[in-house]
Amino acid sequence: MKRAIISETPKHIGEKVKVSGWVQSCRSHGKLIFIDLRDKSGLLQVIFLPNLSGNILETAKKIRPEWVVEIIGIIKKREGNTENKNIETGAIELSVEEIKVLAEAKTLPFPIDDDGYQIKEEKRLKYRYLDLRRERMKNNLIVRQKAAIFIRNFLSDRGFLEIETPILTKSTPEGARDFLVPSRLQPGKFYALPQSPQQYKQLLMVAGIEKYFQFPHVFRDEDLRADRLFEHTQVDIEMSFIEQEDVFNLIETMITDLAEKIFNKKIQEKPFPRITHTEAMKKYKSDKPDLRKDKESGELAFCWVLDFPMFEVLEDGSIDAVHHPFTALADEGLKKFKAISVEELRSPQGKKELLGFKAKQYDLVLNGVEVMGGSIRTHESEVLKKTFEVLGHKPEAVKKRFGHILEAFEYGVPPHGGIAAGFDRLLQTILNEKSIRETVAFPTATSGITSVMDAPSSVSEDQLRELGIKIVKKD
C-alpha cells in the first residue's frame, strides 16, 4: 500500500490508508489509547480501540514520543465536539488496524514542541537534526525554499541566466580575511574560498552574458555575531548596459512581490524612499536607518541609501575603498580622478580630494538592517588600474593579483552593475528572527564550531605532510 501524506488524509474519509511518521505525543483515556502522529506535512490523531488484537495494544502501550512508526487504518470523522480546530486534520482521526515500529528513540535532550529560544545555542546546534523537527524551524526552511524558488523564477522570466562560479578561487587583499585552502599539486600555494563572486560575475559581463544571477555560497573569516556567519548564501545579480535606476526598478519589483506574495507582509511605503549617505548620517546617525513608523505593526520599511563616499582614509593614513575598488565613481568625481595623478591623489591634499568623491554605490535597508548592496562598476581598464594604485597597491602587485580582470577589460567590456543580497539575513529580517542561524539548516555557532560535525578539527600528520604544512604553535 502506498504511503499517504498526513495533510492529504482528510480527502480519504472512510478509506484505508497507510501513514508513517514520528510520534508527537501519547495519551490514554480509559480503554482508549491516542497518539498524535507527525510527518513533514502535519499532525494526525490516531486512535487504538480496545477491540484490537493484544499485540497491537501492547505495542501501543510501549510507544514513546519521537518513535518512528507505520500505521494502517481507516480515516474517520471525529465524533461530536472532539474536533481540533487548531490543526488541518482536526475533523478526522485514524482508527488503527495495523502498526509497525520502524525505529525507537531515546528521550530527547530538549523539548521540540515550543519555539526553542530558551535553549542554549550550543546545545541546539549540537543536536540540530532534532532542533529542525521543531515546527518553527521546519516552517523557516519551507519559506526559505519558497523564497528561493520565487526569486529564481522571477529572474529567469526576465532573461537572467543562473550560472555557478567557482568555489576555489584566488586570495585578494580586499574585504574580510579569506579562508585559505592549501594546494597539494602546487606546494606552498593556496586557493581561497570566495567572499563574493564579484570578479567572476564581471567577467561574465565581458563574456556577453548580459544578465546573470546565482545563489552562491560565500565565505568570510570574520568575527561572528547574531547576523553573521562564516558561510552564507547570497542572491547575486549582475546586468550589462544598465544604469542605477534599472537596478532599483528590478529589485523593488522583486522584493515587493516576494514580501507580499511569499511572506504575506505589508510594505510601509512604495516606491522605496531614497536617502543619500550624507543625509542618512546627518539625520539618523547611521547609514542603515530604521524608518519604521510603528515597530509593533510588523510592516516592512525599506529604503535605498545611495551616493556613498568612494574612498576613506584609515587611522594609519592609508586609503581604502568604502565598498570595493570595482565600484564606479560618480560622473563629476570620475573626471577629476582621471585628471589628477596617483602621486597627487595620495598626497595629504589629494586625500582630502578623495574623501569628496562619490561612488555609484547603493544599499537596500530593511528595518534598520542592510539586506542588499551593490553598485555600478568601473568598466574602464585604466581607471580600475589607477584605483588600485591609489589604494597603495604597487603596479607589480596589481598585475599579479588582478591582471586577469584588467586584461579582460581590454577586450570590450560593457557598462555594467549589479547587487547582492545576504539571503540568510534577508530572511532573518523579514521573519523577525533574533538570529541569522534560525534561517539556516546547519549554521556555524558564534564560537566558530559547525553544527553537529564539530569542525574545525585536527588532521593527521600524513595529511599535513602531503600538503607540505607544519603546525607552528603561537606563543
Q: Give the pLDDT confidence of 375-403 residue by residue, as tens digits.
A: 999 999 999 999 999 998 888 888 888 89
Counts of helices then strands in the chain (DSSP H, E): 14, 18
Cell of 243: 544604469
Q: How many domains does one find in the chain?
A: 2
Residue 319, CB-side half-sphere exposure with 13 Å CA sphere: 25
pLDDT in tens, the chain (475 residues): 999 999 999 999 999 999 999 999 999 988 999 999 999 999 999 999 999 998 999 999 999 999 999 999 999 999 878 889 899 999 999 999 999 999 999 999 999 999 999 999 999 999 999 999 999 999 999 999 999 999 999 999 999 999 999 999 998 765 678 999 999 999 999 999 999 999 999 999 999 999 999 999 999 998 888 788 999 999 999 999 999 999 999 999 999 999 999 999 999 999 999 999 999 999 999 999 999 999 999 999 999 999 999 999 888 888 889 888 999 999 988 999 999 998 998 998 888 888 899 999 999 999 999 999 999 999 999 999 999 999 988 888 888 888 999 999 999 999 999 999 999 999 999 999 999 999 999 999 989 999 999 999 999 999 999 999 999 988 7
Residue 20 lies in a domain: yes
Residue 268 lies in a domain: yes
What integer pLDDT is reported at residue 213 of this predicted model? 99
Cis peptide leading into 187, omega within 30 of 0? no
Tracing cell 530527547 back to the chain, one arrives at 108
Cell of 392: 597603495
DSSP string, 193-257: --S-SHHHHHHHHHTT--EEEE--EEE-B----TT--SEEEEEEEEEES--HHHHHHHHHHHHHH
What integer pLDDT is reported at residue 227 of this predicted model? 82
Same-domain check for residues 202 and 135: yes
Cβ-based neighbour number of residue 293 at 10 Å: 9
Residue 273 has phi, psi (to 5 degrees) of: -60, 155
Model confidence pLDDT, tens digit, residues 292-314: 999 999 999 999 999 999 999 88
Cell of 232: 552564507
Residue 317 lies in a domain: yes
Same-domain check for residues 215 and 287: yes
Same-domain check for residues 319 and 239: yes
Residue 223 lies in a domain: yes
What integer pLDDT is reported at residue 30 of this predicted model? 87
Same-domain check for residues 85 and 160: no
What integer pLDDT is reported at residue 395 of this predicted model? 85
Spatial distance between the Cα atoms of 36 and 65, rounded to a whole number of angstroms? 9
Same-domain check for residues 99 and 237: no
Residue 329 lies in a domain: yes
What integer pLDDT is reported at residue 173 of this predicted model? 63
Range of the domain at 40: 6-103
What integer pLDDT is reported at residue 174 of this predicted model? 59
Spatial distance between the Cα atoms of 463 and 475, rounded to a whole number of angstroms? 24
Residue 348 lies in a domain: yes
Residue 198 lies in a domain: yes
Are 433 and 140 a contacting pair, CB within 8 Å? yes
Residue 454 lies in a domain: no
Q: List Cα–Cα distances, 174 to 90, 280, 398, 406, in angstroms.
A: 56, 26, 12, 16
Spatial distance between the Cα atoms of 167 and 218, rounded to a whole number of angstroms? 8
Spatial distance between the Cα atoms of 179 and 218, rounded to a whole number of angstroms? 10
Please report, for the domain that includes residue 69, its CATH number. 2.40.50.140
Same-domain check for residues 80 and 146: no
**Residue 110: partners with Cβ closer than 8 Å, 6 or more residues away:** 116, 119, 123, 124, 127, 130, 131
Spatial distance between the Cα atoms of 57 and 378, rounded to a whole number of angstroms? 74
Same-domain check for residues 98 and 190: no
Global pTM reads 0.93
Q: List Cα–Cα distances, 245 to 319, 333, 455, in angstroms.
A: 29, 19, 44
Please report, for the domain that includes residue 282, its CATH number. 3.30.930.10
Same-domain check for residues 73 and 155: no
Same-domain check for residues 241 and 291: yes
The conformation of residue 186, written as its DSSP 8-state character, comes to S
Where does a domain end: 68, 103, 138? 103
> Coil, strand, or helix at residue 361?
strand
What integer pLDDT is reported at residue 316 of this predicted model? 86
Same-domain check for residues 254 and 325: yes
What integer pLDDT is reported at residue 54 of this predicted model? 87
Are 295 and 277 a contacting pair, CB within 8 Å? no
